[in-house]
Amino acid sequence: MGTMAKAVVMPRSDVMTTESTFIGWLKDVGEPVEIGEPLFQVETEKSVLDIESLYEGVLLETFAEPGQVYGIGVPIGIIGSPGEKYDREALLGRKENSE
């Protein structure tokens, strides 16, 4: 059945965090991504963190720009199957809990 496209969102690094600074992608658009593989980096007040992918597939699209601050849960990219057609607006508007 193939992967459904999923939104990659800014993670919560600790209880007090409401936003983080996006440092950069560790993968390029079109590259395969495995669950648990470092996907991007964020900077918190304390350190720079490698954030692992919650999904397997291909990085289809990225929205986050290095140096920009994003709130927790804000969509910053999309992972899915190569060439997959997806509803970008639905993915970007949908709230998913990534506990």
Q: What are 99's two structure tokens?
A: 């506990």
Q: What is the pLDDT of residue 80?
A: 96
Residue 94 pLDDT grade (very low, low, confident, very high; cuts 50, 70, 90): low
Model pTM greater than 0.95?
no
Q: In the chain, where are the structural domains located? A: 6-82
Q: What is the pLDDT of residue 13?
A: 74
Contacts of 46 (CB under 8 A, 6+ apart): none
Architecture of the 6-82 domain: Beta Barrel (2.40)
